[in-house]
Amino acid sequence: MYVYAAESEPSKGKMIVPRNFLCFSIFAVLLSSRCVSSVKDGSVSLSEDNWDQILVGEWMVEFYAPWCPACKALEPVWESFALRQGHLGISVGKVDVTNSPGLSGRFMVTALPTIYHAKDGIFRQYKSPRDKESLVAFVMDKKWAQLEPISSWKSPNSMQMSVISYFFKLSQILRGMHNKLMEDYGLPTWGSYLIFSIATIILGAVLGLLIVCLIDLIYPPKPISFSDKKKQKDGSGGFMQEKSPGDEELVKNVKDDLVDEDASGSDGQEEQQDDDKKSTSNSPNVRKRKPRKAD
């Protein structure tokens, strides 16, 4: 990189910098300063690959779409606000939901544009006016502290919101497949829907079978003993469970009580008949009938 040219005295040397190298160095310095200023002054483009950097420090993040008219109207205001991020001590970012559908699901973005404030992993949704002065005052006066933060179970870095983000990615993939079937293969809309319906039914059946097998593997059914299987048939052809010894003893006692009542009832009837006979024989008004001879 350096060239030493010898002079008249061999012990002395002079360092000569090539002109091309000097020009290249100046160009590199200017380019690097340009890049640094653009990163520092402009908003950071966030995606599903680098979104986790907003979990550290203070951020203001906008979710937008190129086709959204309100997002287009906010774009110059947002870029002007991003120029103040160095003075405000924050970072400003933006997310294109068409390129990062998983982030729209992770943050549950249902309207565009949507602005979030993040402070060390704690998120709050900005719902104040969308002019530059309101945005600057929101950060400088710490008005975000007056807002209730998003609950932990709806936090973008939670496990359940990560699962929801995958569903949003899947919906974007299915939408791309739908458009491809219609544009490339010329299928009508109902034909594409029919294909998706059949695929959904087949996939649901396979998943249901896998879930049942998994449940049987984790919680296997209890084995049935031989005594539980033993049953008695009744007259109608059905089956009755085997009677326990206590039930048999109860039935026997009931039968004994019934026999005693019948016996006592018959004895009482015989005694009543004897008394009636005695009373009729002792009565004077009773006429005795003579026996008649058979003809």
- Which residues are the active-site residues? 68, 71
Taking the C-alpha atoms of residue 87 and residue 224, their distance in angstroms, rounded to an integer, is 76
Looking at residues 197-201, what average pLDDT do you find?
A: 88
By CB atoms closer than 10 A (0-12, 13-18, 19+), residue 169 is middle
Chosen domain end from 172, 187, 218: 218
Residue at 60 is within a domain: yes
Note whether 68 and 125 are same-domain residues: yes
Q: What is the pLDDT of residue 34?
A: 38
Residues 105 and 142 in one domain: yes
Contact 6, 13 (CB under 8 A): yes
Domain annotation covers residue 257: no
Distances in Å between the alpha carbon of 90 and those of 125, 139, 206, 208? Answer: 16, 8, 49, 49
Among 39-53, 57-71, 221-235, name the most confident range.
Answer: 57-71
CA atoms within 13 A of residue 150's CA, in its CB half-sphere = 20
The answer to whether residues 145 and 177 belong to one domain is no
**Ramachandran sector of residue 201 (left: φ over 0; alpha: ψ -120 to 50; beta: rest):** alpha
Q: What is the pLDDT of residue 293?
A: 52
Whether residue 276 lies inside any domain: the answer is no
Query: pTM of the full predicted structure?
Result: 0.54
Asked if residue 58 is part of any domain, the answer here is: yes
Residues 117 and 206 in one domain: no
Q: What average pLDDT does this structure show over 143-159? A: 89
In a domain? residue 174? yes
Residue 293, domain member (yes or no): no
In a domain, 77, yes or no: yes
The answer to whether residues 68 and 34 belong to one domain is: no
Work out the percent of the chain whose per-residue pLDDT is above 90. 33
The values of phi and psi at residue 219, to 5°, are -120, 80
Q: Average pLDDT, whole number, for the chain?
A: 74
Task: Give the total number of structural domains in the chain.
Answer: 3
Within-domain flag for 229: no
The whole-angstrom separation of Cα 39 and Cα 57 is 17
**56 and 13 part of one domain:** no
The residue among 98, 124, 154 that closes a domain is: 154
Q: Which domain holds residue 26?
A: 3-39
Q: Pick from 99, 133, 154: which residue ends a domain?
A: 154
Identify the three-state secondary structure at position 228: helix
